[in-house]
Structure 1
Amino acid sequence: MASLLVTAHSVITAPAGSPTRVLSPGFVRVEDGVIAEVGEGRPPGVPDADLPDGLLAPGLVDLQVNGFFGHDMADAGEEGWRTVVSRLPETGVTSFLPTFITAPVAAQAEALRRTAGLLPRLPAGTRVLGVHLEGPFLAEKRKGAHNAVHLTDPASGEVKTLLETGLVKLVTLAPERDGALDAIRTLTEAGVLVSVGHSDATADRVEAAADAGARMVTHIFNAQSGIDHRAPGVAVQALIDPRLHPGLILDLHHVAPKVAELVFRAAPGRVVLVTDAAASAGMPPGTYELGGEPITMPADGPPLRADGTLAGSGLRLDDAVGNAVRLGIGTVAAVDAATRVPADLIGRPDLGRIAPGAAADLVWLGPDHRARTTWINGQKVFGGGS
């Protein structure tokens, strides 16, 4: 691979073992797809910045993408997958977990096998880090847009079936279901990240889930027990337990702005920005599908099921970063929540950071925090820029 030098108005860097900080101006030198050097100022003989405004950030990492650009990841064929991995860099995302929502375990297992077969044929684009299974081990009371008919307890045989392809990297489940704590232990031992979600559990039960190995909470405040001063639920434990990382859909619809600010203030360094994007994301208003069910994308706001239930989002992850900054969350904290924090949580310290030795996945965010140029392994895959 050819070398690459990018000079920028500002660079967000996160050296190993050091806090994230901003170099202004700064530069990044890439060799063979890996970051070789990060420095402050300008290299000799380079008087002007390639990126004169905004900031150079690590490529964004999204752990919850049900679909995008008209395609539901669980049901998409090869063409749909090609579209999504090729176009997600438009949103600054360089790594993601396609998310399959509730379906019969046999159907999910088949979707995993089908996905394993098509991944080697995909073009260069956003990295597929594995698959996030959101269900079917969820609580009926907090099912959200999931089909209650297919919700079930996590029997050991079913968990084993879902693990067979080796593609599962994240599982969202309700820890109050029978067998859930044993399932969390099994999944954790297999190297799978477990997230508490679609759950009516008490805070104590969520603490037990964390004791068993759970480390994330799926879309905090949505489809879960919340904050009650006499009956604390999932959201309370997500905010106070330093082992847990609350996922946050920051489209300003799923969680009100002041509540989003509360999440960042209560869990500094632990928040994970996610899109929970549905097939309608990046598309005009209309009817699409989520988990085989029709959803409607209005002109303003997130997609909905026929009964008015929120059904994923139409959010871009770069917009989530911008929304966080506009709420008064510092730029470093906002970018970290969409890069370093999810990458580390999923066990990929080579991603989500601009530091020597990391993969050269980069995104130029303009002053509005929208992606202008995106690089993966040092190769430009979207935009103008260098």
Structure 2
Amino acid sequence: MASLLITAHSVIITPTGTSTRVVSPGYVRVADGVIVEAGEGRPADPPDVDLPDGLLAPGLVDLQVNGFYGHDMVDADEAAWHTVVSRLPETGVTAFLPTFITAPVETQAAALRRARDILSNLPAGTRVLGVHLEGPFLSDKRKGAHNAAHLTDPSPEDVAALLETGLVKLVTLAPERNGALDAVRTLTEAGVLVSVGHSDATAEQTAAAADAGARMVTHIFNAQSGVHHRDPGVAVQALIDDRLSPGLILDLHHVAPKVAELVFRAAPGRVVLVTDAAASAGMPPGTYELGGEPITMPEQGPPLRADGTIAGSGLRLDEAVGNAVGIGIDLVTAVDAATRVPADLIGRPDLGRIAPGAAADLVWLGPDHRTRTTWAGGQKVFEGGS
């Protein structure tokens, strides 16, 4: 039985039946890729790995990755998938949802079939939990970087075509579109997480989506109706509705620090940190693609379309955790928002926590919250961060 004992300066653990907490010092014992013991103190037997500073945390879980390292996931070939899956552990991410943005339904269906064929032959690295379809059932009033020519209502036939491969685990849609609430019900019954996003919906329409089964809001405050004292929109409902988990791009550009703090304070235990990373993430300034459209990565700030619209981000998820701590969010809450909360939301309680029975997906974050070492299923898949 393959085993691993890690001792650490600090460990963030989620004991069975209790809330997540930090213990210092702490340890994690792994057998055959699964955590069998985790706790405070130091065991009598010598560790295989001792981490002298920083934090041993669960592997990070990102529900929105359009691309990374120069590759756009929607049209990635096998080599590109290999690159992204093998390199995302550099950012502390051990599980993710590759995200396909708006395209004609038949194009997305073909991309899903291509991904299905590739996924059976990927290297060790970040787990692919399924696919997030961000569109094409979005509002043309809140399209952001999406191509308005391909936006459409969610017909039963289109929904069925996209569900055919079984890969779709998350769909972002605008609930005000014709047929959208029926689509929410169909998707939910199929085990797909539905998120309200790129939407001009009222708070009441957003609540109706939650009544139908929606449980998330995509990148809160970005490309959606917001907070107005006489005309509340998607963002208001996301903050006050305990059924909804607001996704938050915490690169300090998409949402101002004070507003990000508001999100955490208004939705305790529900915030999901996401990167919304585009192909330009992890790359130098230059021109890349998002959904077949050119985007430019500047020296500072997020990638942009030619018209100045923000087009995804260049954010790392470990950086988002560090940014959360930097604006005053406590460490446990920040880490939970990038681990346990998204894992539970996507229906994977075996991920996103350090607890007996969970997968041994782990990340050593330095004092700056930057990834130093990453393990997936107890196997080291990245080492060398500083």
Q: TM-score range by the shorter chain?
A: over 0.9
Q: CA deviation at 1:108?
A: 0.2
Q: Secondary structure at the match of 1:27?
A: strand
Q: CA deviation at 1:384?
A: 4.8
1:185 match: 185
Q: Secondary structure at the match of 1:237?
A: helix
TM-score by length of structure 1 reads 0.99
Following the alignment from structure 2 to structure 1, what is the Cα–Cα distance between the partners of residues 196 and 223?
Answer: 11
- Once the two structures are superposed, residues 165-191 of structure 1 have per-residue CA deviations (whole angstroms, 9 ceiling, x without a partner) of 000000000000000000000000000
Q: Secondary structure at the match of 1:87?
A: helix
Asked if the contact 1:220/1:246 (under 8 Å) is kept, the reply is: yes
Aligned residue identity for 2:20: T
1:259 match: 259
Following the alignment from structure 1 to structure 2, what is the Cα–Cα distance between the partners of residues 23 and 351?
Answer: 19
2:247 match: 247
Asked if the contact 2:7/2:47 (under 8 Å) is kept, the reply is: no
Following the alignment from structure 1 to structure 2, what is the Cα–Cα distance between the partners of residues 262 and 153?
Answer: 33
1:25 match: 25
> Which runs of structure 2 are paired with 1:114-125 in the superposition (5 Å)?
114-125=114-125
1:66 match: 66
> Which runs of structure 2 are paired with 1:87-98 in the superposition (5 Å)?
87-98=87-98
2:361 match: 361
Aligned residue identity for 2:94: T
Following the alignment from structure 1 to structure 2, what is the Cα–Cα distance between the partners of residues 325 and 112?
Answer: 36
Q: CA deviation at 1:67?
A: 0.1
**Please, what is the CA RMSD of the aligned residues?**
1.1
In structure 1, the gaps of 5 or more residues are none
1:328 match: 328
Following the alignment from structure 1 to structure 2, what is the Cα–Cα distance between the partners of residues 362 and 131?
Answer: 22
> Which runs of structure 2 are paired with 1:20-59 in the superposition (5 Å)?
20-46=20-46, 50-59=50-59
Q: CA deviation at 1:17?
A: 2.5
Q: Secondary structure at the match of 1:363?
A: strand
Following the alignment from structure 1 to structure 2, what is the Cα–Cα distance between the partners of residues 126 and 48?
Answer: 23
Following the alignment from structure 1 to structure 2, what is the Cα–Cα distance between the partners of residues 48 and 134?
Answer: 42
Q: CA deviation at 1:39?
A: 1.7
Following the alignment from structure 2 to structure 1, what is the Cα–Cα distance between the partners of residues 183 and 356?
Answer: 37
Q: CA deviation at 1:45?
A: 4.3
Q: CA deviation at 1:93?
A: 0.1
> Which runs of structure 2 are paired with 1:109-188 in the superposition (5 Å)?
109-188=109-188
- Once the two structures are superposed, residues 6-34 of structure 1 have per-residue CA deviations (whole angstroms, 9 ceiling, x without a partner) of 00000000123310001100000000000
Following the alignment from structure 1 to structure 2, what is the Cα–Cα distance between the partners of residues 382 and 41?
Answer: 26
> Which runs of structure 2 are paired with 1:270-349 in the superposition (5 Å)?
270-349=270-349
Q: CA deviation at 1:2?
A: 1.8
Aligned residue identity for 2:146: H
Following the alignment from structure 1 to structure 2, what is the Cα–Cα distance between the partners of residues 261 and 283?
Answer: 29
2:220 match: 220
Following the alignment from structure 2 to structure 1, what is the Cα–Cα distance between the partners of residues 86 and 51?
Answer: 23
2:84 match: 84
Following the alignment from structure 1 to structure 2, what is the Cα–Cα distance between the partners of residues 76 and 377?
Answer: 25
State the identity as a percent: 83
Q: CA deviation at 1:137?
A: 0.1
Following the alignment from structure 1 to structure 2, what is the Cα–Cα distance between the partners of residues 180 and 282?
Answer: 35
Following the alignment from structure 1 to structure 2, what is the Cα–Cα distance between the partners of residues 121 and 45?
Answer: 38
Following the alignment from structure 2 to structure 1, what is the Cα–Cα distance between the partners of residues 128 and 44?
Answer: 37
Aligned residue identity for 2:349: P
In structure 2, the gaps of 5 or more residues are none
Following the alignment from structure 1 to structure 2, what is the Cα–Cα distance between the partners of residues 262 and 17?
Answer: 28
Q: Secondary structure at the match of 2:120?
A: helix
Q: CA deviation at 1:322?
A: 0.1
Asked if the contact 2:13/2:39 (under 8 Å) is kept, the reply is: no
- Does residue 1:195 correspond to 2:195, yes or no? yes
Asked if the contact 1:9/1:49 (under 8 Å) is kept, the reply is: no
Q: CA deviation at 1:48?
A: 11
Judging changes above 3 Å, is the alpha-carbon distance between structure 1 residues 51 and 182 closer, same or farther for their aligned structure 2 residues?
A: same
Judging changes above 3 Å, is the alpha-carbon distance between structure 1 residues 295 and 44 closer, same or farther for their aligned structure 2 residues?
A: same
Aligned residue identity for 2:235: A
Following the alignment from structure 1 to structure 2, what is the Cα–Cα distance between the partners of residues 16 and 315?
Answer: 32
Following the alignment from structure 2 to structure 1, what is the Cα–Cα distance between the partners of residues 382 and 35?
Answer: 19
